[in-house]
Structure 1
């Protein structure tokens, strides 16, 4: 039996968040293919750390046990992570960035010890990651903006194995901006179902 952590990263209401609708479908397909696995859900919007970003005022207490080790220990206790993230102003939502700020701690989730110059060793190498992302603009409209690259890059830095990301782009542009949430889900159902079975 595997333990699966489902991270809700979208700040949008669950019933209107396209990335959440896609992720919920992925989780449903995953559960059907892996009924013995345990699902643990964590809505980052509901966590105290989500409203407490790193500032000069809290630098000394930011990485405390309650708001940092709690999430690191959770990641160390699970086998896989499924997470969603829409693009917000060309990057990940603040809740997701706060989460990564909390868990990216030297000698806990990564280390420079025994690493070659200019590299690091990720300490979350037992994890397998599935990212489900959306963005309003079609891919390539803003070449300098890629929240997917950031998400894949930081998980790789932490040593995790990243599955191919599911990205639904252009949801705020024609022709996708006229489609219903269900129609948007239909566009990705086959990809989501296929990846869920293999994950």
Structure 2
């Protein structure tokens, strides 16, 4: 039985394009693998606390206080979910040309030396391999090409964070120009749904 970790980070609730497309992704995955186990993390509804001077040692050093121990326990829980997943689905809207702080905080807890990456004389090495990641990106403008491409700090940043812990089988599905009006929004959603359907069908045919 496969396991799917589903992360949502949009603050827009039912109006969120990334949430809609994450739900579509999960629906298609389950349709093809009804026995799949789903683990959901809504990073907007149940926020992961930002690390601060009272908690940071729980993730980046040795926990010795109650606050640090609590931070370590949450980091352990999030890493366990990530390690158990065969597929990770991430809903990542573009906020201020990058990612929501809620998603960044999740990464702060799961990028942990000795657990998800290691250091050696050869440099850092990701320890989470053999997993598939599908990232749904929603964007108000057009950033995949043209003049605004230089302002895209969302996709390169996510690719770097995921690759740093060994997650290199990553596919980005974009819904762009959703701020250009209802027609553009609808077209972006339908285009992303079609790309998701093709992606999942192709991956499954290759695995067969």
Could you say which TM-score interval applies, normalised by the shorter chain? 0.7 to 0.9
Distance 1:94 1:79, change over 3 A: same
1:21-40 aligned at under 5 Å gives the runs 21-40=20-39
What is the CA–CA distance in structure 1 between the aligned matches of 2:182 and 2:130, rounded to whole Å? 41
What is the CA–CA distance in structure 2 between the aligned matches of 1:167 and 1:186, rounded to whole Å? 11
Q: Determine helix, strand or coil for the equivalent of 2:5.
A: strand
How many residue pairs get matched? 190
1:16-165 aligned at under 5 Å gives the runs 16-49=15-48, 52-61=49-58, 64-113=71-120, 116=122, 119-139=123-143, 140=146, 141=148, 143-165=150-172
What is the CA–CA distance in structure 2 between the aligned matches of 1:124 and 1:60, rounded to whole Å? 22
**Larger relative contact order (Cα-Cα within 8 Å, sequence gap ≥ 6):** 1
Distance 1:44 1:110, change over 3 A: same
Residue 55 of structure 1 and its aligned partner are, at CA, apart by 2.8
Q: Which runs of 5+ in 1 are unaligned?
A: none
Q: Which runs of 5+ in 2 are unaligned?
A: 61-70
What is the CA–CA distance in structure 1 between the aligned matches of 2:89 and 2:75, rounded to whole Å? 20
Q: Determine helix, strand or coil for the equivalent of 1:55.
A: coil
Alignment RMSD (CA, Å) = 2.0
Q: What TM-score, normalized to structure 1?
A: 0.86
